[in-house]
Structure 1
Amino acid sequence: MLSLRGKPLVYLVTVVSSTGFCLFGYDNGLMGQIISEPNFLDLIGNPNSAVQGFVVSSYDIGCMLGALSAVLISEQIGRRRTILLACIVHLIGDAINASSFSLAQVLVSRIILGIGLGLFTSASPVWLAETTTAEMRAVMVAVQLTFLIIGTNIAYWVDYGLGFLDNEISWRVPFALQAVYPLVAFGFTLFLPESPRWLAAHGHTQDALTALSALRDLPEDHELIQAEINDISSAIELEAGGSSWGALFQQGPAKVRTRVIIACAAQSMQSYCGINFVEYYFPFILQNSVGLSPNLANLVSGCSQIWFLLTSFLTWFLINRLGRRRLFYLGNVGMGSCMIAVSITLWWDSPSSDIVTIVFFWLYLPFFTWGWMSNMWTYPAEILPLHVRGKALALSVFFLWANQFWTVEIAPVSIDNIGWRSYVIWAVLNFACCAVVYFFFPETSSMTLESVDFLFSSSNGIRDVVSKSENLWKNKIHLEVGAAAAAAIDEEDIGEKANTQQVERV
Structure 2
Amino acid sequence: MVRHTSGGRQFNWLNLLTIIAMSFGSMTYGYSASIISTTLSQPSFNAYFDLDTRSDATALISTMNGLYQVGGFLGVFTVSWFADKWGRRAAIGVSALITLVTGALLAGSVNVAMFIVVRFFSGAGAFMILSAVPIWMNEVTPPRNRGMLVDIHGAALLFGYFLAAWVGYGFFHLDSPNAWRAPLAFQCLPALIVLVGLPFMPESPRFLLIHDRYDEAAANLKRLHTSDEAAVELEQISHQMQIDRTLPSSYWALVTKPSYRKRTLLCLGTTCGIQFSGILVINNYGPILYGNLGYDVDQQLVLLGGWLTLAFGSGVLSLFLVDHFPRPKLIGGGIAACSECDRMNERDAVDADTVLVVCLIIECALVAEFVGTTNTAALSAAVAMFYIYVIFYELTLDGLQFAYIGELFPTHLRAKGMNIGVAGICLMNIIWLQAAPTAFANIGWQFYLCFIIPGCLMAGLIYFTFPDTWGVPLEEVAAMFGDHDEIYDASKHAKEEINAEHSEKVSVDDKSAV
TM-score under structure 2 normalisation? 0.84
> Does the CA-based 8 Å contact 2:331-2:463 persist in structure 1?
no
Aligned to 1:498: none
Q: Which residue of 1 aligns with 2:346?
A: none
Give 1:209-358 correspondences, 5 Å limit. Answer: 209-216=218-225, 218=227, 224-239=229-244, 240-251=246-257, 255-288=259-292, 290-333=293-336, 334-349=355-370, 350=373, 351=375, 352-358=377-383
CA distance in 2, matches of 1:443, 1:93: 39
Moved >6 Å (runs of 4+): none
Deviation at 1:324, TM superposition (A): 1.2
Residue 425 (1) aligns with residue 450 (2): yes
Q: Does 1:385 align with 2:410?
A: yes
Retained in 1: the 8 A contact 2:29–2:129?
A: no
Q: Tell me which amino acid in the other structure corresponds to 2:448.
A: Y
Structure 1 residue 420 displacement after superposition: 0.7
Distance 2:59 2:358 in 1: 29
1:480 and 1:314 map into 2 onto residues whose CA distance is 36
Alpha-carbon distance change, 70 to 426 in structure 1, aligned in 2, over 3 angstroms: same
Residue of structure 2 aligned with 1:443, choices 457, 468, 471: 468
Q: What is the Cα deviation at residue 73 of structure 1?
A: 2.7
- Name the CA shift for 1:123/1:319 in 2 (closer, same or farther; >3 Å): same
| Cα distance in structure 2, aligned partners of 1:203 and 1:459 | 23
Superposed, 1:200-211 pairs within 5 Å as 200-211=209-220
Counterpart check, 1:375 vs 2:378: no
Q: 2-side partners of 1:275 and 1:99: how far apart?
A: 29
What are the superposed Cα offsets for residues 128-147 of structure 1, whole Å, 9 maximum, x if unpaired?
00001112211112222111
Q: How does 1:478-493 map to 2 (within 5 A)?
A: 482=490
Equivalent pairs counted in the alignment come to 456
SS of the residue aligned with 1:135?
coil
CA positional deviation for 1:162: 1.1
Tell me the alpha carbon deviations over residues 188-225 of structure 1, each in whole angstroms, 9 at most, x when there is no partner.
1111111111111122222222221221253xxxx643
Instruction: Call closer, same or farther: CA 1:169–1:9 in 2, change over 3 Å.
Output: farther
The reply to whether residue 89 of structure 1 matches residue 89 of structure 2 is no
Contact 2:88–2:203 (CA<8 Å) still a contact in 1?
yes
**Letter aligned with residue 97 of structure 1:** L
Match of 1:66 in 2: 75
Question: Residues 439 and 453 from structure 1, CA distance in 2 versus in 1: closer, same or farther, beyond 3 angstroms?
Answer: same
Deviations 1:230-274 (A, max 9, x none): 21134335543231232222326xx21111221122122222110
Kindly state the Cα deviation for residue 481 of structure 1 after the two structures are TM-superposed. Answer: 5.2
Could you tell me which residue of structure 1 aligns to residue 107 of structure 2?
A: 98
The code of the aligned residue for 2:27 comes to C
| Paired position in structure 2 for 1:171 | 180
Contact kept in structure 2, 1:262 and 1:440, CA below 8 Å: no
Conserved in 1, the CA contact under 8 Å of 2:311 and 2:391?
yes
CA–CA distance in 1 between the matches of 2:488 and 2:283? Answer: 40
Whether 1:20 and 2:59 are equivalent positions in the alignment is no
Identity %: 24
* Distance in 2 (alpha carbons) for counterparts of 1:267 and 1:377: 9
Give yes or no for contact 1:247–1:388 (8 Å, CA) kept in 2.
no
Q: Does 1:454 align with 2:479?
A: yes
In structure 2, the CA distance between the partners of 1:209 and 1:54, relative to structure 1 (3 Å rule), is same
Structure 2 match to 1:405: 430
1:143 matched to 2:164? The reply is no
Q: 1:358 and 1:17, CA in 2 relative to 1: closer, same or farther beyond 3 A?
A: same
CA distance in 2 between counterparts of 1:360 and 1:176 reads 33
AA aligned to 1:434 is: A
Q: Are the counterparts in 2 of residues 325 and 437 from structure 1 also a CA contact under 8 Å?
A: yes
Q: 1:117: how far off?
A: 1.6
TM-aligned CA deviation for residue 15 of structure 1: 1.7
**Whole-Å separation in 2 of the counterparts to 1:237 and 1:227:** 16
The 1-side partners of 2:236 and 2:24 are apart by 30
Name 1:359's counterpart in structure 2.
384
Q: Is the 8 A contact 2:66 2:434 kept in 1?
A: yes
Cross-structure match for 2:500: none
Larger CA deviation: 223-232 vs 393-402: 223-232
Q: How far is 1:412 from its partner? A: 1.2
Compute the displacement of 1:361 (Å). Answer: 0.8
CA offset digits 1:304-358 (Å, max 9, x no partner): 2222222223212211112212211331123221111001111111412211111
Conserved? CA contact 1:329–1:371, under 8 Å: no
SS in 1 for 2:89: helix
> Partner letter of residue 140 of structure 2?
T
Q: Residues 484 and 49 from structure 1, CA distance in 2 versus in 1: closer, same or farther, beyond 3 angstroms?
A: same
Which AA in structure 1 matches 2:87? G
In 2, the alpha carbon distance for the partners of 1:480 and 1:337 equals 46
- The letter for the 2-side match of 1:171 is W
RMSD: 2.3
Looking at structure 1, the residues matched to 450 and 229 of structure 2 have their Cα atoms a distance apart, in angstroms, of: 50
Unpaired segments ≥5 residues, structure 2? 1-9, 337-354, 494-514
Question: Hey, what's the Cα distance between the residues in 1 that align with 2:309 and 2:418?
Answer: 30
Alignment partner for residue 8 of structure 1, among 13, 20, 35? 13
Alpha-carbon distance in structure 1 between the residues aligned to 2:232 and 2:313: 39
* Contact 1:337–1:427 (CA under 8 A) maintained in structure 2: no
Rate the CA distance shift 1:452–1:481 in 2: closer, same or farther, 3 A: farther
